[in-house]
Structure 1
Amino acid sequence: MKLRECREAAGLSKADVARIMQVDQSAVARWEAGAALPRASKLPKLADLFGCTIDALYGRTRPPTVSATSTQKGGHP
């Protein structure tokens, strides 16, 4: 996840994020280190806090493209 980059770009400290997200500061540190992931229910609030999309939290900038042939052959979109 790109949480540290998003947090720093927003000008927030780990303590700020912990207070706003109602978690321990150590939880934020674990998220940033990749030792743990935030609960799915917290992702919308994190994205709103950082002014980005949930995809951006994961470093994803655009949806993957699906080729027409994979959907025609019964592949998943």
Structure 2
Amino acid sequence: MILADKITNLRKKEGWSQEEFAERMGVSRQSISKWEGGRSTPDMNKILQMSELFGVSTDVLLKDDLTLEDEVTTTAASSVQNDNGEA
């Protein structure tokens, strides 16, 4: 899945319109539309901001071979602890 699709899916999962997401990101709605349409790419600072807003790693956003489901699986696995309290 490419970055544009991931941004769209994550935004919709949060229930935000493009306008709401744009306000949270400090950009125009047109910028969000261009990112989601694959016509432009957000700069690294915006990708870091998105990572924090959506609660996913930058790897999930940037690596085409990772899906949003991979992030959920990775997060769940890292939170599982053994009887000694170790991950």
| TM-score, normalised with respect to structure 1 | 0.71
In angstroms, what is the RMSD of aligned CA positions? 1.6
Partner of 2:39: 35
Partner of 1:25: 29
Runs of 4+ deviating beyond 3 Å: none
- Structure 1 segments unaligned to the other structure (5+ residues): 63-77
| TM-score, normalised with respect to structure 2 | 0.64
Q: Is the 8 A contact 1:14 1:25 kept in 2?
A: yes
Task: Indicate which of 35, 38, 46 corresponds to 2:50.
Answer: 46
Percent of aligned pairs with the same amino acid: 27
- Structure 2 segments unaligned to the other structure (5+ residues): 72-87
Partner of 1:67: none
Amino acid in structure 1 at the alignment position of 2:28: D
What is the number of equivalent residue pairs in this alignment?
62
